[in-house]
Amino acid sequence: MKVIIIDDEERARKSIKDLLKISNSNVEVLAEADSVRAGIKAIQEHDPELVLLDINLPDGTGFDILKQLDNIHFKIIFITAYEEYAVRAFEFSAIDYLLKPLDPVKFTEAIEKGKQAVEQVNIHLKLNALFANLDHTTSDHKKLVLKTAENIYITSTSDIVRCESDCGYTQFFLADGKKILVSRNLKDYEDLLNGYGFYRLHQSHLINLKYIDHYSKLNGGAVVMKDKTMIPLARRKKDDFMKLLEMI
């Protein structure tokens, strides 16, 4: 696999090359670059299969490199110091990233994943979602990339009515009536959507609070959504949820 490393720190680039050797990955480092300008030139000249891309560069960001390229047909793994806004944007957009200092195990896993074939349409969809999420860091309306066995979808968090656990999968129910089944568990999405108006009512149910219609005392207590779905409320969650209702 042909690789380009773009990072403004020589020590960081050396560390990446050392990790590539340790991981026993069958890779060839074609070039290194330490700036946006040099990174664009290296990519255009060497046609890599994978780019290990630092975010913060002296003349801009790794995102600036991608925005200036006409065609992206390579895998990307972003490498960054911890910046919460960027990390959340990566997770919403299903973009691969690694945090500095690099963990050898996670690094090896990311490289192995990077060997998978690139689906060009998918990478452009994911990057478009990423750029939208980075441009609206304070907005509650994030673009969430959902990958199924057959397709990749981009939906706004504001269009998600609820999520339901389904044997290790998660079923998304959207405001337009569409259903999307994703092979990630509900806990992953509970963590990701934390702070964006979602609440886990029950072991199997995560809801968007703005789609609540009313609370029903029938059958031990349930929340009725605007799409008429009745969601059970876990007994241990009742007091916390009733307080939350008063604040909405």
User: What are the tens digits of pLDDT across the range 69-101?
Assistant: 988 989 999 998 867 768 889 999 999 999 999
| pTM for this prediction | 0.84
Span 2-33, pLDDT tens digits: 999 999 999 999 999 999 998 877 899 999 99
Question: Does the pLDDT of residue 121 top 70, yes or no?
Answer: no
List all residues 6 or more positions away from 247 whose beta carbon is below 8 Å from its beta carbon. Answer: none
Q: What is the mean pLDDT of residues 111-129?
A: 81
Domain with CATH 3.40.50.2300 in the chain: 2-135
What pLDDT, on a 0 to 100 scale, did the predictor assign at position 47? Answer: 94
Domain at 157-247, CATH class: mainly beta
Question: Does the pLDDT of residue 137 top 70, yes or no?
Answer: no
User: Residue 230's pLDDT band (boundaries 50, 70, 90)?
Assistant: very high
What pLDDT, on a 0 to 100 scale, did the predictor assign at position 58? Answer: 96
Q: How many CA atoms lie within 13 A of 154 on its CB side?
A: 20
Q: Specify the CATH number for 2-135; select among 3.40.50.2300, 3.30.390.10, 3.40.30.120, 3.40.50.300.
A: 3.40.50.2300
Cβ(61)–Cβ(8) under 8 Å?
no
Euclidean distance between CA atoms 88 and 83, whole angstroms: 9
Output the CA–CA distances (angstroms, integers) from residue 180 to 112, 170, 175, 205, in the order listed: 28, 8, 12, 15
User: Residue 141's pLDDT band (boundaries 50, 70, 90)?
Assistant: confident
pLDDT above 70 covers a percentage of the chain that reads 96
Domain with CATH 2.40.50.1020 in the chain: 157-247
Helix axes 84-93, 120-135, angle to 10 degrees: 140
What pLDDT, on a 0 to 100 scale, did the predictor assign at position 120? Answer: 66
User: Residue 138's pLDDT band (boundaries 50, 70, 90)?
Assistant: low
Euclidean distance between CA atoms 97 and 92, whole angstroms: 12
